[in-house]
Structure 1
């Protein structure tokens, strides 16, 4: 049960991820918060892409639409099954429901097996040669009706339908998935037809035979012999040439004809559909792990590059030496908004905040104590706002450490420039901080002893 639930979740995540990719073909979504969430919560590249898509999907309603589709899918399947059952009953009724109780054996075979044979042939050809015949199958009809009922033309259901079929096609599962549904419905239809046919033949008297105007009787003799090979192998009686050509309607001959007709429906209708339904199920089980987005596609390669750019620098705490890591390049002028973010970082508890002198244009004004939760909140906010400048107020008397350097590197990836305001410091403290910035490769971060200098360009 748990394995089935996990597989369902994996397939749902794959459909959501593919649907987001299709939506972004017409324009990128605002994904700053989703990217930060993915980086914080996941480590593997594929999991980060799925996490980002999940966050965006919740915002635009993809998960809700998919949940509605899952709710309606079994009901749509049941409606199709009932439709086929009634169609099977009607077909059986046409064969045995005549007022004269005469059955033309060849016409009955064509009526019961003709459409089935044609659709099965198209499905088999479609396994080798790509065709649009699957769009006319019961499987496609079931999927399309589910999408239509769940969301209509105005919701996200059409996108989810495209995403699902795109995943199935990429995994080479499209004919097998649609085929499983189609074969299952056809098998059920033949079961109903056989039940109705056997019931009528068991409790009513019929005259079975053949008629022709232009064909030679030998054609029917040979046709009965060839068609009777598979039913005969299954144990059904096959009328011989004398029975076929005899105009006498003995009870034993009528029974042989009736069982031959039943055997043909079983051998050429029911059993092939059951067999191919089982084959389709086995192929699905084998190939379903391939139902994943194509991470080699340019769209996903671009996302992976963005995730790599956001990744924090790896710091080995056991290494006492100085860090010699280059700072991130930061955002270009066209990628930032005209916003100043002010942050109070690990200030003494007794320090008032916000400190006097901050410009009214600063938004937001935050204060963090260095905890992981508050750092993540700050990074999410900065990633969403993309400020032109970020001012971090630090206690000058405190000593900068690896945690401070890691935070500055992560912030630099989401803003145009970063400045430090060394609160309540002196020349020696300022010199210590500036030397530390140079030693750790953070020369892009400027340190200022007074607020006026730090706010230059904003007042």
Structure 2
């Protein structure tokens, strides 16, 4: 979700993240485990916040409801399309289905284009004015609301998911375009069906097309017909001349001109704008979809970032001037531990065989001592809370402050820790080297870490000998 190119799951992840934010407005959720798990998965603050939200969302059922919404969405859209198409056919039937087969072209034009033009003006108002009521009157909003209601029922999480989704779309300036993509598509399909029905009726039945008025000047209709016919004329549709318009009973050629003028007006002022807006909405969506992210500068997210930062131990950036040896950190309580064993190879030379033979089922790790490797391992220990840890070091190496810091951090995440100074195959076991490690542990206040000379003894003392 942080990448510039939006992943397939990025928008659903962002919706869940925002939905958790709105949910926690009523009170914080119990997120201790979610915080630790998210902190261990990534160093990126935004990714951690998203991972935490996904875990909490899974617990309260947000993901399952979102999946149901995505499954029901196409079916609800299909039903809405069918409803609009039937309504369009009804309008076309009212125009050409009269028993007298007489069509008032102006009334027909207003009937077929009136609601469309009103809806289009409302959509344009929602595009340029920050008024949500214009967006909620579109077919796109109706589709989204119905989908949320069907997927969530009366007691589901639909309101918070709907609020999160529309909030993300608004922030990315995509709300009218997203709703427009659905709304314009439905309208375009409706006009296509209406035009097909109208052309079929005009092609195989005889109609009389004319206009009527009681108070308007006939010249007004001449000017109006010519003005409305200018755009269709650019596409080849004929426009009735003044004599045809003013004639009380135009001939067959005049009737054909009237019919094609009416069809051209519906195509140019109804179908083509909707098709063009569908394409424009799709282009805008493609260009702006990368902005579908939560507002990370929001105080809620900044507080979460601070909490994640507090989970990391402070980094030592200067040398310790020396002083009295510290005490070993307290170990975890037995109730917090899990029955697991970690065997960790720390800064071992390349020629030392790894892993050692004879290990029982355990989490076997080997790290080079770099800060990222230590941090990743400590995150695993924080999640696993093992009963025992066996730290394997190179016997001939000199223990230093980095080893001390790492041991103290390991002790804070386990129940018991032992150290085995291992040696390479070509090196002879040296009791003096092992004693140096014992003396070093005593001098640093880490007496809790017992040193064993043989792997078998260490495993036996840890209660894990095979």
Q: Could you say whether these structures have the same fold, taking a TM-score greater than 0.5 normalized by the shorter chain as the test?
A: yes
Q: What does 1:61-72 align with in structure 2 at a 5 Å threshold? A: 61-72=61-72
SS at match of 2:222: helix
Partner of 1:252: 253
Partner of 1:226: 227
Pick the aligned partner of 1:369 from 342, 353, 356.
342
Gaps of at least 5 residues in structure 1 are 325-338, 344-361, 383-390, 438-445, 450-459
Deviation of 1:239 (Å): 0.5
Separation of aligned partners in 2, 1:283 and 1:146: 23
SS at match of 2:209: strand
Separation of aligned partners in 2, 1:89 and 1:99: 17
Alignment pair present for 1:379 and 2:390? no
The one-character-per-residue Cα deviations of 1:201-250 (angstroms, maximum 9, x if unpaired) are: 00000000011111111111111011011011111000011111111230
The one-character-per-residue Cα deviations of 1:272-311 (angstroms, maximum 9, x if unpaired) are: 1111111111000000000011111111111111111212
Separation of aligned partners in 2, 1:56 and 1:174: 27
Partner of 1:386: none
SS at match of 1:281: helix
Separation of aligned partners in 2, 1:27 and 1:287: 33
Partner of 1:156: 157
1:241–1:394 Cα change, 3 Å: closer
Separation of aligned partners in 2, 1:28 and 1:41: 22
1:71–1:238 Cα change, 3 Å: same
SS at match of 1:99: coil
SS at match of 2:22: helix
1:410–1:6 Cα change, 3 Å: farther
Q: What does 1:325-340 align with in structure 2 at a 5 Å threshold? A: none
Deviation of 1:58 (Å): 1.3
Separation of aligned partners in 1, 2:219 and 2:411: 89
* Number of aligned residue pairs: 389
1:216–1:269 Cα change, 3 Å: same
Separation of aligned partners in 2, 1:176 and 1:323: 62
Q: What does 1:131-150 align with in structure 2 at a 5 Å threshold? A: 131=131, 132-150=133-151
Deviation of 1:158 (Å): 2.0
Deviation of 1:60 (Å): 1.4
Partner of 1:291: 292
Gaps of at least 5 residues in structure 2 are 323-329, 346-362, 365-377, 420-435, 450-466
Separation of aligned partners in 2, 1:297 and 1:281: 29
TM-score scaled to structure 1, two decimals? 0.75
Separation of aligned partners in 2, 1:147 and 1:273: 26
1:222–1:10 Cα change, 3 Å: same
Report if aligned partners of 2:244, 2:250 keep a CA contact under 8 Å in 1: no
Report if aligned partners of 1:88, 1:192 keep a CA contact under 8 Å in 2: yes
1:130–1:393 Cα change, 3 Å: closer
RMSD over aligned Cα, in angstroms?
3.6
SS at match of 1:228: helix
Higher mean C-alpha deviation, range 209-218 or range 152-161? 152-161
